[in-house]
A and B are shown apart, each in its own frame.
Chain A
Amino acid sequence: MITKRIIPCLDVKDGRVVKGVNFLGLADVSSPVKLAEYYSRCGADELVFYDITASAEGRALFTDILRQVAERVFIPLTVGGGINAVSDFDRVLKCGADKVSVNSGAIRNPDLIPAAAERYGSQCVVISADVKRVNGEFRVFAKGGREDTGMEAVGWIARCVENGAGEVVLNSIDTDGVKGGFDLEMLNAVCEAVNVPVIASGGAGCTRDFVTLFKSLPKVDAGLAASIFHFGEVQISDLKRELRENGITVRI
């Protein structure tokens, strides 16, 4: 049986992991390579690297780091951030990424997903959506959650999938950072609308939140989180044991 995936997400700026990481026994906690190796050893099923650099120099540094990670860590790697053209797919896939996640790039350029899917296959193309409730409706937000696009989210995500996206990362802005659990209502709406894997993001505060996620929404394929893993509040190995004890199939 296919296992539920646990995915730590690392924000990288100028070649370093940002957003505070606090590990005991890890000398260089801002090294993406060291962290990737650490998470891989702990049982992470996949890693997401998000490039939040704005400059060209930072971007070059990012691909260099990605290459170093891919040389040492042999689990699937997803890369996002600054993906605006098919040439950006090419740039990161050549450095060892397995999947590429698009967000604002897909909002600005509706042709990006179909073009990338045709060239590299749907399994390579991930639509990452930042979604927030506005006037009782789920809306897609752009620019890292700062700008309301006015677009209804569930229909927009379904169109991205029809156009070739092979996986959805749904980040709820409403629950992000609150640590009160995943946004089950929003996730359920998206799961009902698409037939590709859905990765839940935003809101995980403790192990129980993952158990609740997979128990309440069997269609969700994976849970993604950042700070609770980085700060050691949740250890992936403990989390997976707990999931297994609750009857959820995971890779241990």
Chain B
Amino acid sequence: MIAIIDYGVGNLFSLSHSLTAVGAENAVTGDPERILRADRVILPGVGAFGDAAKKLRETGLDAVAKAVAARGTPVMGICLGMQLLLEKSYEFGEHAGLGLIPGEVRPISEVIPQDLKIPHIGWNALDIRRSHPIFRSVRPGDCVYFVHSYYGARCEDSVIATAEYGADLTAAVAKGNVCGCQFHPEKSGDVGLGILKAFCEWDGVETC
């Protein structure tokens, strides 16, 4: 069973149904016991980093996510959920993340040319930087759907994919049994479903 951590932010309807579509039994839940027992865990998220980090703390699910990661369960963060895996964010102040992957969250305006629109929204090609089991079905030039104004910075050692938007923005990260996608696999058509399916079959071991 895949647990989608429900800590009160965002709409998890599409994510849950996309997992169902790839044949993965899943539950949207904020129950620590169910999350700890799950075979795999997804940390979703939309909105502002500070609010989301606060909600994770208030619900005690930050500790649960860390415990799940520590015991080797495959974990995937999606969009803001990926950013929460990093150590800290500079979105409206400075906020601590889960620190499961080294790196920080910074505004994309710091690295992209001024004439480009923010947020980075739409379909962009994935540039795979390091082969990873979640990308086993991804082909060169495959596009995925992004919506974000902040990006994962100083996480070079963990970057497994980037997307070119005036700069090479972090599109996915991975370290050990933890991975994260800045894009929305649940909104990225067949390419996204392929990534979710691969995650659902991943044992958490990073084989390159």
Contacts and interface: CB of A to CB of B under 8 A. Distances in A.
B164 A5 contact: no
B14 A72 contact: no
Interface residues of B, number: 30
B122 interface: yes
Contact of B13 (A95, A197, A221): A95
Interface in A54-85: 67, 70-72, 74-76
Contacts, number: 75
Given A76-B187, A94-B13, A123 B123 contact: no
Contact of B164 (A1, A93, A94, A166): A1
A3 B47 contact: no
A128 to B, nearest CB: 16
Given A74-B14, A197-B117, A251-B143, A221 B122 contact: yes
Most chain B C-beta atoms within 10 Å of own C-beta, residue among A2, A197, A221: A2
B188 interface: yes
Nearest to A45: B123
Contacts of B124: 1-3
Interface in B164-202: 164-165, 186-189, 192-193
A1 B117 contact: no
Given A96-B11, A251-B143, A74 B125 contact: no
B193 A2 contact: no
20 contacts: A1-B125, A2-B120, A2-B122, A3-B122, A3-B124, A3-B125, A45-B122, A71-B20, A74-B14, A74-B17, A74-B186, A75-B187, A96-B11, A122-B119, A123-B147, A166-B119, A195-B117, A196-B117, A197-B121, A221-B122
Given A70-B13, A197-B122, 8 more contacts: A2-B120, A3-B123, A74-B186, A74-B187, A94-B13, A96-B13, A123-B119, A123-B121
Interface of A: 1-3, 5, 40, 45, 67, 70-72, 74-76, 93-96, 98, 121-123, 166-167, 195-197, 221-222, 251-252
Interface of B: 11, 13-14, 17-18, 20-21, 46-47, 117-125, 141, 143, 145, 147, 164-165, 186-189, 192-193
